[in-house]
Amino acid sequence: MPRILVAALQAIVACAFLVGLYAQIVVIPTSAADQVELFPPLAPHQVPLVTAAILFVVCGQVALVGLGMLLRRASRGAVFERAALPWANVVVGAAAGATVVTAGVFVYVTLADIPSPTDGMDVIGVWLGTAAAAAVGTAAVLLLLAGRHLLVKAIGLRTELDGVV
Q: What is the pLDDT along the chain (165 residues), one digit of tens a residue?
A: 788 898 899 999 999 999 999 999 999 999 999 999 999 999 999 999 999 999 999 999 999 999 999 999 988 888 888 999 999 999 999 999 999 999 999 999 999 988 888 777 888 999 999 999 999 999 999 999 999 999 999 998 988 887 887
Please count the structural domains in the chain: 1
Task: Look up the pTM and report it.
Answer: 0.90
Kindly report the number of other CB atoms within 10 A of residue 105's CB atom: 23
Q: Which domain holds residue 128?
A: 3-164
In sequence order, the 6+-apart residues with CB closer than 8 A to the CB of 101 are 52, 55, 56, 59
In sequence order, the 6+-apart residues with CB closer than 8 A to the CB of 161 are none
For position 48, what pLDDT does the model report?
95
Contact call for residues 81 and 155 (beta carbons, < 8 A):
yes
